[in-house]
Structure 1
Amino acid sequence: MSQAQNATTAAEKTADIDAGQTVADGTRATIALDTPIVRGEQRIDEIVLRKPSAGELRGVNLADVLQMQTDALIKLIPRLSQPSLTEHEARQMDPADLVQCGSDIAGFLLSKRARGETA
């Protein structure tokens, strides 16, 4: 990919984030939060979720994750988020933000073939 194409892709990703959308590359997803999380004087406007390893899925029913069950997501978000959110912060998330996180986490569990990507 040329430098011009890289710059265009970076600009498109930034525009997507500004529009409140998710930008994902298969191993990470940047989510612009509809409702920022306030931690003391810090305001968290976006989080990055990373693809979980098998060990990070320990104790979580994968079917619950794929069905975006709230308890499963609240358990996983602190394990996968940057900045690292607490379980309490995950419980206090705006429902729209929780659904977006769940959608991205569920997407991480799909194979490239299921996502329509080539290997």
Structure 2
Amino acid sequence: MSKTTLLQPLKRASGDIASVTVRKPDVGSLRGLKLTDILQMDVTALSRLLPRITEPALLPDEVAALDPADFLGLSAAVVGFFATAEMVATAEADLLRH
């Protein structure tokens, strides 16, 4: 799971949403989507996926109304779930080298 604090909280009648937790998608959550679209951070694919894997569950209209920076943060959390331990280690080593 990955928790993201929103730069622009979402307004709901029950109270503003200031942070969103993204859970690792299971195969059922990915139904009807192409993994390549998700990994390429395709807006349409991620807009369909995020309501399935967020807590509180974001509505499609709320995803569409997200600040672009918040959408990017949530999307990066999703893509991060697809990285293997080896990929993460390589990326961290590259960062330390620079």
For normalisation by structure 2, the TM-score amounts to 0.86
Q: 1:49 aligns with which of 22, 28, 33?
A: 22
| Aligned-residue identity in percent | 33
Cα distance in 2 between the residues matched to 1:88 and 1:116? 36
**What do residues 39-69 of structure 1 show as CA deviations (whole Å, max 9, x unaligned)?**
1241000000010111111111111111111
| Residues 1:76 and 2:70 aligned together | no
1:114 Cα deviation from its structure 2 partner: 1.4
Cα distance in 1 between the residues matched to 2:56 and 2:14? 15
| Residues 1:29 and 2:2 aligned together | yes
Tell me how large the CA RMSD over aligned residues is. Answer: 1.2
| Residues 1:112 and 2:85 aligned together | yes
Cα distance in 2 between the residues matched to 1:100 and 1:67? 14
Cα distance in 1 between the residues matched to 2:82 and 2:3? 17
| Residues 1:90 and 2:63 aligned together | yes
Q: Look up the equivalent residue of 1:107 and give its one-letter code.
A: G
**What do residues 21-51 of structure 1 show as CA deviations (whole Å, max 9, x unaligned)?**
xxxxxxx110000000001241000000010
Q: How many correspondences in the alignment?
A: 90
Cα distance in 1 between the residues matched to 2:85 and 2:53? 20
Cα distance in 1 between the residues matched to 2:14 and 2:27? 34
Structure 2 unaligned spans of 5+: 91-98
Structure 1 unaligned spans of 5+: 1-27
